[in-house]
């Protein structure tokens, strides 16, 4: 489920950016007045995408791990200091 939400958020963010950039060019250059009407739509789409991404990240970080945490112990190994080693 988390992957689906992440993909949806990425798709919405991409769509919002494409709409925003293309409508900014159309509106700011004065090619068409309807470009100004698309700017708030793109902002809402991008805000929804970022909110979905944030919620997905929060759920991922707050839930219990899928794999139980285990303690790994190292074997009792002695390491000689560098000054005690013989040069080859």
3-class SS at 2? helix
Q: What is the pLDDT of residues 27-73, one digit of tens each?
A: 999 999 999 999 999 999 999 999 999 999 999 889 887 777 777 77
Residues 6+ apart with CB under 8 A from 17: 42, 46
Question: pLDDT at position 64, please?
Answer: 81
How far apart are the C-alpha atoms of 6 and 46, rounded to whole Å?
14
pTM of this structure: 0.69
Helices (H), the chain: 2-28, 34-62
3-class SS at 83? helix
């Amino acid at each position: 489920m988390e992957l689906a939400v992440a993909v949806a958020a990425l798709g919405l963010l991409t769509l919002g950016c494409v709409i925003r950039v293309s409508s900014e060019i159309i509106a700011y250059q004065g090619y068409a007045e309807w470009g100004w009407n698309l700017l708030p739509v793109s902002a809402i789409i991008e805000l929804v995408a970022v909110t979905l991404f944030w919620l997905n990240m929060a759920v991922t970080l707050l839930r219990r791990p899928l794999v139980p945490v285990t303690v790994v112990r190292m074997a009792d190994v002695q390491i000689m200091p560098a000054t005690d080693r013989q040069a080859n």
